[in-house]
């Protein structure tokens, strides 16, 4: 059974904040950025408890993110010189997972061991600060991993703006 999560970026937040709600509007997760001039770091919370921390590695050829928390330690790296977003996970229980998006990054899919975990099929004309994501698994760890990947995508988008 699939579940739809809605990612809403708070535009007036100094540090950055993303509320992740279920389709019905109930808050499931919250991601908050730490204000820093040199290191981009986000924390993911569920029911007020930190479940993951995401840090962007400085001075790397391609965007690289170190993730720690409830799912263990892992590294998410974007493929160098790819026109569309293509990430690969190394380490942790999601070692080898991939995240691929289309040219406009509005439609994408997250897979692990050949099994799709989540997908988005956004239209080109959509609100910039809201994204709908369909989680295809009932597993709580798959859902958290999906949230982490989506926060990484938002971090990278913010760094480009």
pLDDT on residue 106: 66
Q: What does pTM read for this prediction?
A: 0.86
pLDDT tens-digit series, residues 17-37: 889 999 888 999 999 987 655
Report the distance separating Cα 103 and Cα 84, nearest Å. 5
Mean pLDDT of 64-82: 91
Report the distance separating Cα 125 and Cα 139, nearest Å. 31
Report the distance separating Cα 123 and Cα 120, nearest Å. 10
Region of poorest pLDDT, from 10-14, 25-29, 125-129: 125-129
DSSP per residue over 58-87, as a string?
SS-SS-EEEEEETT--EEEEEPTT-SS-EE
- Identify the CATH class of 3-160: mainly beta
pLDDT at 86 over 90: no
Phi, then psi, of 134 in degrees rounded to 5: -100, 115
Mean pLDDT of 63-87: 89
CA 1 to chain centroid, in Å, comes to 21
Report the distance separating Cα 100 and Cα 6, nearest Å. 19
- How is the chain split into domains, by residue range? 3-160
Report the distance separating Cα 24 and Cα 37, nearest Å. 36
Report the distance separating Cα 33 and Cα 107, nearest Å. 25
User: Left if phi > 0, otherwise alpha if psi is -120 to 50, otherwise beta: which for 48?
Assistant: left
């Amino acid at each position: 059974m699939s579940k739809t999560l809605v990612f809403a970026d708070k535009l007036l937040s100094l540090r950055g904040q993303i509320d992740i709600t279920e389709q019905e509007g109930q808050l499931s997760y919250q991601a908050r950025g730490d204000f820093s001039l040199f290191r981009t770091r986000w924390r993911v919370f569920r029911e007020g408890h930190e479940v993951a921390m995401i840090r962007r590695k400085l001075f790397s050829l391609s965007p690289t993110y170190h993730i720690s928390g409830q799912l263990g330690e892992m590294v998410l790296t974007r493929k160098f010189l790819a026109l569309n977003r293509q990430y690969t996970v190394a380490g942790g229980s999601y070692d080898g997972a991939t995240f691929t998006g289309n040219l406009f990054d509005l439609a994408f899919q997250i897979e692990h061991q050949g099994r799709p975990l989540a997908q988005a099929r956004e239209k080109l004309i959509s609100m910039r600060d809201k994204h709908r994501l369909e989680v295809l698994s009932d597993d709580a760890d798959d859902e958290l991993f999906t949230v982490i990947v989506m926060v990484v995508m938002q971090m990278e988008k913010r760094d480009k703006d």
